C-alpha cells in the first residue's frame, strides 16, 4: 500500500486507493476485484480494513457484491450512481432527453476518435447483435455494442454520465416484452436499421452522419417505449 496518511482510518485509505485504481482503469466496469485475502496480502492491512473499505464502495455504488461469486466494479466514480439516484426523481421525458443528447454526441465523437481496433470491435459487436436468435442474447449484444460506442467516444465523463442514466439497459427494461422474439424483431426493425447506420457512419469517420443516425435511433426507441421528448 502507498504511504499511510496520519490520522486517516485505514479503511478510508484503502477505499481511496481502490477508487483511484478503478478511475485509472486498472479495474474496469464489469470486472471482479481481487478477493479480500488477496487485497489484504497486497495492501498490507487487516481484513477488517479491507472489508470496511469494500462495504463503503458498495454503498457508494462503485461496487456490487455477489454472494458466493465476489465483488464487481459497477462504476468508475461516484458520478454514475449519483446520477442514477437523481433520475429516480426526474420525469421520464427529461431522462430520455439526456440519454438522447449523450448518445448523439457520443456517436459524433466516436466517428472522429475511434481507433482502428475500436472500429473493428464495433463491426463485430454489430454482427453479433444482428446474429442474435433470442431475447437474452439480443439484449446482451446490444448492451455490449452501446458500451463500445461510448468507450470509442474517448470521453470517459460522457460515458459515465450515460451509464448513470441507465443507458441502453434502461431502454431494454422499458421495452420489456413477453412477445415472441421473431415478433419483437419485426417491430424493432427500424431500430435495428438505425444501429447499422450509426456504426457504419462511425466506421466511415463521418461525425454528422453518426450523430444524426444516433439521434434517429434513440428517438425510435423512445417512440417504442412510449416516452415523449422535446429535445432538439
What is the percentage of the chain residues whose pLDDT exceeds 70? 87
pLDDT at 84: 66
pLDDT at 87: 67
Residues in the chain where the model's pLDDT stays below 70: 1-7, 79-91, 176-178, 226-232
CA distance 204 to 211: 13
CA distance 167 to 143: 9
Whole-prediction pTM value?
A: 0.67
pLDDT of 49-73, one tens digit each?
A: 999 999 999 988 889 898 888 999 8
pLDDT of 115-141, one tens digit each?
A: 999 999 999 999 999 999 998 899 989
CA distance 187 to 197: 18
Mean of the per-residue pLDDT values for the chain? Answer: 86
CA distance 72 to 58: 9
CA distance 162 to 147: 10
pLDDT at 88: 64
pLDDT at 5: 56
pLDDT at 30: 81
Domain residue limits, the chain:
10-73, 80-225
pLDDT at 149: 95
Q: What are phi and psi of 212, to 5 degrees?
A: -65, -40
Name the CATH code of domain 80-225 (choices 1.20.120.530, 3.40.50.970, 3.40.50.1820, 1.10.3720.10). Answer: 1.20.120.530
CATH number of 10-73: 1.10.10.10
Amino acid at each position: 500500500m502507498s504511504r499511510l496518511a496520519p490520522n486517516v482510518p485505514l479503511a478510508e485509505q484503502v477505499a481511496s486507493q481502490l477508487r483511484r485504481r478503478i478511475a485509472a482503469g486498472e479495474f474496469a466496469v464489469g470486472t471482479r476485484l481481487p478477493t479480500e485475502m488477496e487485497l489484504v496480502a497486497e495492501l498490507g492491512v487487516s481484513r477488517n480494513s479491507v472489508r470496511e473499505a469494500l462495504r463503503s464502495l458498495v454503498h457508494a455504488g462503485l461496487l456490487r457484491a455477489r454472494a458466493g461469486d465476489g465483488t464487481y466494479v459497477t462504476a468508475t466514480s461516484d458520478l454514475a450512481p449519483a446520477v442514477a439516484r437523481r433520475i429516480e426523481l426526474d420525469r421520464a421525458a427529461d431522462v430520455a432527453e439526456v440519454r438522447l443528447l449523450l448518445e448523439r454526441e457520443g456517436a459524433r465523437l466516436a466517428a472522429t476518435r475511434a481507433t482502428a481496433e475500436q472500429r473493428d470491435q464495433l463491426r463485430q459487436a454489430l454482427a453479433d447483435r444482428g446474429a442474435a436468435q433470442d431475447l437474452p442474447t439480443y439484449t446482451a449484444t446490444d448492451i455490449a455494442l452501446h458500451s463500445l460506442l461510448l468507450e470509442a467516444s474517448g470521453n470517459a465523463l460522457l460515458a459515465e454520465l450515460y451509464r448513470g442514466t441507465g443507458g441502453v439497459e434502461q431502454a431494454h427494461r422499458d421495452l420489456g416484452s413477453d412477445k415472441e422474439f421473431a415478433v419483437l424483431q419485426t417491430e424493432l426493425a427500424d431500430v435495428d436499421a438505425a444501429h447499422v447506420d450509426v456504426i457504419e457512419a462511425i466506421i466511415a469517420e463521418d461525425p454528422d452522419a453518426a450523430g444524426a443516425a444516433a439521434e434517429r435511433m434513440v428517438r425510435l426507441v423512445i417512440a417504442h417505449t412510449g416516452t415523449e421528448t422535446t429535445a432538439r
